Chain A
Amino acid sequence: MNVEKNLLVGTIAAVIVVVLLVGIYVGEEIRMERETEDQQGKLIARGARLYDTYCAGCHGERGEGLAGIYPPLNVEDLWSGKEDIAFYGTLHDYISLNISAGHPEQRMPSWATGYGGPLRGDQIEDVTQFVLNWMGPQPEGVRVQAAEAVSIPPPDTEPEAEGVPAVEPGQDAARGGQIFASACVRCHGADAGGTDLGPSLVGASVVGKGDDELEDAIALGKPGTSMPAWNELVGPQDISNIVAYMRSLAAGEAPVISMSSTDPAEAGETLFALPLGDALIGQALFTGADRLENGGPSCLICHGIASDDALGGGTLGPDLTLTFNKHGELGLAGVLADIGFPTMAPIYKDRPLTPEEQAHLRIFLQEAATRRPTQPTGQFGLLALAGFLVLMVLAQAVWRRRLRSVRQSLVEQTRSKK
């Protein structure tokens, strides 16, 4: 071993290491600052993508909003008009909180997972940073004007005076349906079966009410809920048309006008004549043993269910064992046909369930409702116990002679001495 050479090599290496560390230390502050800026930039870029997916539908692709309904975000000062509320936090907190918890009076759903929405905390922060970036001076071409709100077909009859009696032979359910498809389905669902944003309009709550009451609800909105006042955008005659359409819908007469299907007969058929499905296939689809045709994730990832070979299941969503009792047959069919829960909607929007899959899953869920929700903990306990016993037996078999050997050598020693 050449001690001197190694000492020299070691010393040189140590000196270089120290010099490098000092060099890093000198540049560290600048690097950290640059790195933080980079992270901030990536935050905004990610927020832009999320905005496209979740926010652009209402607030517009470039944040221009929809006049009278959805506020524009592409503005100089997002505080404008908000000074009078008693909010003591920063603008960042205000926006972040609005996105997270939603704003029921202004039809803004809650987006954070903590409030039942689809976005994680980091994503809320991304979107907040993106929205905040609209404040202040902008390069040319960024500011965009708001577009028209709701597309109302041009009236073919003269608008009548206010205070017209509710039920009239002049009511036009078809025209009401057109407006309904443009304005109401956002919250009440394509089949008016309700979503997380708005209640069902085909149930007893509508049938039992008078036309006056319904028209008032549409015209003036429901304060404290996400139902806006429509009287500024929709004339009284058209409101009455919408009510007529709702009546025919509740009676099961009217074809369902949905955004996706333009053939009313077909859409009506899939809703009211529920096809039969197979519970076993439904179970395979639920657990992911069979993939969903359009590539949607299987239910078990997020939902638990009691079943023969589904072990527990995810906890992101609620346990679905008793969901059939909650929604009923028709409700479940509606939910599966048009998945509107904010967490699930973006995932299944592009990967809808096929009609056959919907039927299989519905029948499976119906059957599951006869069971009790279970916990997999007991199974694991048994499995662990069995594994432990097997290992003990194995150890006993493998090291059978482990105690003998020490003593044996001692005995042999004494014997040889004799």
Chain B
Amino acid sequence: MGEESKTNKTFRQRVYDRVYETMTAIAAGMSPRDIRDMLRGKPAGRPNPRYRVHSTSFWFHMKPRWYNKSTTRITYTLALGWISTFLAVVLGLTGIILMIFYTPSTDAAYFDMLNIIGGIPFGELVRDIHRLAAELMVACVILHLVRVFATGSYKQPRSFNWLVGMVLLFITLIFSYSGYLLPWDQIAYWAITIGTSAADAVPVIGAQIQMLMLGGPEVGQLGLLRFYTLHVIILPVALAVAFGVHYYKVVKQGISLPPAVEAKKKKDERVPYLPGILVREVAWVMLGLLVLIIPVVTFYNGPLEDHADPFVTPLHATAPWYFLWLQGLIKLPDVFGGIVEGKFVYGVIIPGIFFTILFALPYIDRNPARRWQDRKLALGLGAAVIVALTVLTWMGTPAYRLETPPAEEIALEFVPTDRHGEINELGWDNLVDGVYEISIGETAPTEPVASIDLDQFITKLASAMTHESDRLPDGTATLTIATWQQDLKRIDLDIAWEEDGMEHTFNQYTYIHKNTIHQE
């Protein structure tokens, strides 16, 4: 009996030792006791096992052992670089999942998108997260650049890292832009068509560049495959390399101290990476996932329009939001009297100069001071550029100087053929068959209709007509809803007006199926 319990004890001891060793090995040299002490806030022993981890573990060796306390304040860096990295990882993982269900072919791509949304569990979630994270990442990278400019962190000795950061910005933009084409829907097709046609403005080699990008004079199968290859192979590798250099420099040089702290030339307090910052980063990862998932389950839907069609140009096709300023620039009046082409100056020369200055900023701005009061010129110019870009972005939207005939504009808003419009918000039960006459100045339909929502729709249409009464003199609109097939209705909008003594009419119609999802 006594001997047996003795062997049991040694066996338990042996198992315990084995587990302890294994856990220590997994934790890269930190024993479970060390970890427990660390999380309970006890001071580290000597030699400091929390520093040793950084040399024994591959993953930890990439992180610095400690940070300067003033740089860990969230209000200083806003963690924009960290967030960009987090989003890049999320994009990589969701991208791999999407890649499994996607074929880069003009015949299959759109149906693969439909299948991802409707046929694969969690498919819509993954796609929406990928899409949302992509938009956020572009925004974060741009804001990161603004932050680094504002705090003067691009100055010596970090001027090289600014350059690498600019490369990363470009990679991010091309990443997002190339991903734009892959769903092969109308927005994708026309955004890329508009964007790549800008290359046409480059003299001598413009046509060749465009040809190289698209594999033909138009966006097609070859173009899709090229953008896909860019998106899933070339850019990820380029991003990994450039990010490696960028982050290596950050670790090596440390995050730049806030200008005020730096000016005091006082030694900053050190904050070890373990455990505080590690725990904070893990918490941020969880929060980040939450921030991505909550919009997706509540209101955010990755846009997907009709199948790409080279023969149907949608009204108001625009570039992605981060290129709208370029579109706004091209809309500026041609004031060069035919000596040079306006499109060339606005689309190539000005952006070229802008990006060259941005790239070479640390080498142009030789002022070593980092405090705001010593950088009034640089900050003023920076603010001016931000204001200019904002105005240009607004000018790039269809709201600015786009001459669409008013009847078409109203039809697009109320009975669009290829996108979501007012009519889609009615819902099947509110589409009551009938012919509804609407005249300018009327607030209520001439005859009461069967549904309150349809009533409101007609009132809205009437007020839109009234709003345009300058351009649609004596305008009348006729809305015809007819049952066309089982579960299918045809909605006709006929707009008539008188101009220069002539009767003008415009007709647009659309079909709505009972099963179409509508938002109320």
Binding site for B on A (CB under 8 A): 1-3, 6-7, 9-11, 13-14, 16-17, 20-21, 23-25, 28-29, 31-32, 34-42, 44-46, 48-49, 62, 120-123, 130, 133-134, 136-142, 297, 300-301, 311-316, 346-347, 376, 379-380, 383
Contact indicator B511/A121 (Cβ below 8 Å): no
Contact indicator B282/A10 (Cβ below 8 Å): yes
Query: How far is it, in angstroms, between the C-alpha of A123 and the C-alpha of B482 when the chains are bound?
Result: 24
Q: Does B107 lie at the interface of the complex (its beta carbon under 8 Å from any beta carbon of A)? A: yes
Q: Do A10 and B217 contact each other (CB < 8 Å), given the known contacts A121-B107, A133-B486?
A: no
Other A-B pairs, 4, CB within 8 Å; known A10-B286, A44-B487, A121-B107 = A7-B283, A14-B286, A38-B515, A39-B114
Contact indicator B217/A383 (Cβ below 8 Å): no
List 8 A-B pairs, Cβ < 8 Å: A1-B72, A3-B279, A7-B283, A39-B117, A48-B490, A122-B111, A140-B483, A383-B205
Which residue of the partner chain, among B111, B121, B484, B487, contacts A41 with CB atoms under 8 Å?
B487
Query: How far is it, in angstroms, between the C-alpha of A122 and the C-alpha of B284 when the chains are bound?
Result: 44
Complex: chain A residue closest to B67, CB-CB: A1
Which residue of the partner chain, among B207, B217, B277, B515, contacts A37 with CB atoms under 8 Å?
B515
Query: How far is it, in angstroms, between the C-alpha of A183 and the C-alpha of B293 when the chains are bound?
Result: 62
Which A residues lie within 8 Å of B139 (CB)? none
Which A residues lie within 8 Å of B107 (CB)? 120-122
B379 CB → nearest A CB, Å: 32
Contact indicator B486/A31 (Cβ below 8 Å): no
A65 CB → nearest B CB, Å: 16
B402 CB → nearest A CB, Å: 17
Complex: chain B residue closest to A1, CB-CB: B276
Which B residues lie within 8 Å of A21 (CB)? 293
Query: How far is it, in angstroms, between the C-alpha of A300 and the C-alpha of B207 when the chains are bound?
Result: 13
B258-286 vs A, CB cutoff 8 Å, 1 = contact: the mask equals: 00000000000001000111011011111
Which A residues lie within 8 Å of B120 (CB)? 32
| Segment with Cβ contacts to A, from B174-182, B236-244, B303-311 | B303-311
Which A residues lie within 8 Å of B321 (CB)? none
Q: Does B488 lie at the interface of the complex (its beta carbon under 8 Å from any beta carbon of A)? A: yes
Query: How far is it, in angstroms, between the C-alpha of A350 and the C-alpha of B72 when the chains are bound?
Result: 65
| Segment with Cβ contacts to A, from B81-89, B141-149, B208-216 | B208-216
Contact indicator A9/B271 (Cβ below 8 Å): no
Contact indicator A312/B217 (Cβ below 8 Å): yes
B30-51 vs A, CB cutoff 8 Å, 1 = contact: the mask equals: 0000000001010000000000
Complex: chain B residue closest to A41, CB-CB: B513
Complex: chain B residue closest to A44, CB-CB: B513
Complex: chain A residue closest to B514, CB-CB: A41
Which A residues lie within 8 Å of B205 (CB)? 383
Contact indicator B511/A24 (Cβ below 8 Å): no
Contact indicator A9/B283 (Cβ below 8 Å): yes
Contact indicator B217/A300 (Cβ below 8 Å): yes
Q: Does B398 lie at the interface of the complex (its beta carbon under 8 Å from any beta carbon of A)? A: no
Which A residues lie within 8 Å of B302 (CB)? none
Q: Do A122 and B487 contact each other (CB < 8 Å), given the known contacts A34-B517, A312-B217, A380-B211?
A: no
Contact indicator B293/A20 (Cβ below 8 Å): yes
Complex: chain A residue closest to B72, CB-CB: A1
Which residue of the partner chain, among B39, B111, B121, B217, contacts A28 with CB atoms under 8 Å?
B121
Contact indicator A314/B286 (Cβ below 8 Å): no
Complex: chain A residue closest to B110, CB-CB: A122
Contact indicator B217/A380 (Cβ below 8 Å): no
Contact indicator A17/B514 (Cβ below 8 Å): no
A46 CB → nearest B CB, Å: 7
Query: How far is it, in angstroms, between the C-alpha of A62 and the C-alpha of B517 when the chains are bound?
Result: 26
Contact indicator B289/A3 (Cβ below 8 Å): no
Query: How far is it, in angstroms, between the C-alpha of A7 and the C-alpha of B289 when the chains are bound?
Result: 16
Query: How far is it, in angstroms, between the C-alpha of A35 and the C-alpha of B111 when the chains are bound?
Result: 13
Binding site for A on B (CB under 8 A): 39, 41, 72, 107, 110-111, 114, 117-122, 124-125, 205, 207-208, 211-212, 216-218, 220, 271, 275-277, 279-280, 282-287, 289-290, 293-294, 297, 306-307, 310-311, 417, 482-488, 490, 510-517
Which A residues lie within 8 Å of B276 (CB)? 1-3, 6
Query: How far is it, in angstroms, between the C-alpha of A38 and the C-alpha of B124 when the chains are bound?
Result: 14
- Which secondary structure dominates chain A's binding surface? helix
Contact indicator B271/A44 (Cβ below 8 Å): no
Query: How far is it, in angstroms, between the C-alpha of A42 and the C-alpha of B39 when the chains are bound?
Result: 56
Query: How far is it, in angstroms, between the C-alpha of A142 and the C-alpha of B114 when the chains are bound?
Result: 30
Contact indicator A10/B287 (Cβ below 8 Å): yes
Contact indicator B485/A28 (Cβ below 8 Å): no
Contact indicator B217/A13 (Cβ below 8 Å): no
Query: How far is it, in angstroms, between the C-alpha of A24 and the C-alpha of B126 when the chains are bound?
Result: 12
Contact indicator A9/B485 (Cβ below 8 Å): no
Which B residues lie within 8 Å of A133 (CB)? 485-488
Contact indicator B280/A312 (Cβ below 8 Å): no
Complex: chain A residue closest to B284, CB-CB: A10
Contact indicator A7/B279 (Cβ below 8 Å): yes
Contact indicator B307/A120 (Cβ below 8 Å): yes
B82 CB → nearest A CB, Å: 14
Contact indicator A301/B310 (Cβ below 8 Å): yes
Complex: chain A residue closest to B41, CB-CB: A3
Which residue of the partner chain, among B124, B218, B271, B290, contacts A1 with CB atoms under 8 Å?
B271
| Top 5 A-B pairs, shortest CB-CB distance | A1-B276, A41-B513, A10-B283, A13-B286, A41-B515
Contact indicator B515/A139 (Cβ below 8 Å): no
Q: Do A376 and B211 contact each other (CB < 8 Å), given the known contacts A41-B513, A41-B515, A312-B216?
A: yes
A95 CB → nearest B CB, Å: 15
Contact indicator B490/A9 (Cβ below 8 Å): no
A71 CB → nearest B CB, Å: 18
Complex: chain B residue closest to A37, CB-CB: B515
Q: Do A314 and B511 contact each other (CB < 8 Å), given the known contacts A13-B283, A41-B487, A120-B307?
A: no
Complex: chain A residue closest to B271, CB-CB: A1
Q: Do A314 and B216 contact each other (CB < 8 Å), given the known contacts A3-B41, A10-B286, A44-B513?
A: yes
Query: How far is it, in angstroms, between the C-alpha of A256 and the C-alpha of B207 when the chains are bound?
Result: 43
A387 CB → nearest B CB, Å: 9
Which residue of the partner chain, among A14, A45, A300, A312, contacts B511 with CB atoms under 8 Å?
A45
Complex: chain B residue closest to A118, CB-CB: B311
Contact indicator A44/B277 (Cβ below 8 Å): no
Which B residues lie within 8 Å of A20 (CB)? 290, 293-294, 297
Complex: chain B residue closest to A302, CB-CB: B218
Which B residues lie within 8 Å of A137 (CB)? 486
Complex: chain A residue closest to B417, CB-CB: A49
Which A residues lie within 8 Å of B282 (CB)? 6, 10
Complex: chain B residue closest to A313, CB-CB: B217
Contact indicator A35/B290 (Cβ below 8 Å): no
Complex: chain B residue closest to A52, CB-CB: B509
Contact indicator B41/A45 (Cβ below 8 Å): no
Query: How far is it, in angstroms, between the C-alpha of A297 and the C-alpha of B484 when the chains are bound?
Result: 33
Q: Do A41 and B516 contact each other (CB < 8 Å), given the known contacts A17-B293, A20-B297, A24-B122?
A: yes
Q: Do A48 and B124 contact each other (CB < 8 Å), given the known contacts A10-B283, A13-B286?
A: no
Query: How far is it, in angstroms, between the C-alpha of A122 and the C-alpha of B125 when the chains are bound?
Result: 25
Complex: chain A residue closest to B488, CB-CB: A44
A256 CB → nearest B CB, Å: 29
Complex: chain A residue closest to B291, CB-CB: A13
Contact indicator A122/B287 (Cβ below 8 Å): no
Which A residues lie within 8 Å of B512 (CB)? 45
Which residue of the partner chain, among A11, A25, A121, A141, contacts B483 with CB atoms under 8 Å?
A141
Contact indicator A42/B516 (Cβ below 8 Å): yes
Which B residues lie within 8 Å of A140 (CB)? 483
